[in-house]
Amino acid sequence: MQDKTLTCKDCAKPFVFSVRDQQFYAQKGFEHEPQRCRDCRNARKNARAATGDASTRELFDVVCAECGVPTQVPFRPRDTRPVYCRDCFQTHGSQLTRA
């Protein structure tokens, strides 16, 4: 592993995705590299906290892939991956995130 230079999708400035950060992402099981620099991530996080995350977050209607219950999720689902309701995700979450 070595440091990578990525471009922030918000401010378009380059930032370093360090080996230490890459190891942290791998340890947490994150599949994607960060899209924002630390300053933009912090600004986005602070803006959400100031306005109330639930009031500004767009929700998408889906049907749980396991139990068939209609639910809402805070991300745009992809056809390639199943989406679960809160109960099914909590019941099988550790298995689902590692699959």
pLDDT digits (tens, 9 = 90+) for 24-80: 999 988 889 999 999 999 998 888 777 665 556 788 899 999 999 999 988 888 888
DSSP strands (E only) in the chain: 4-7, 14-17, 60-63, 70-73
The first and second tokens of residue 42, run together, are 């912090």
pLDDT category at 95 given cuts 50, 70, 90 is low
pLDDT of residue 51: 66
Average pLDDT over residues 10-36: 93
Give the predicted TM-score (pTM) of the model: 0.49
Give me the residues paired with residue 61 across strands. 72
Rounded-to-integer distance, Cα 13 and Cα 18, Å: 16
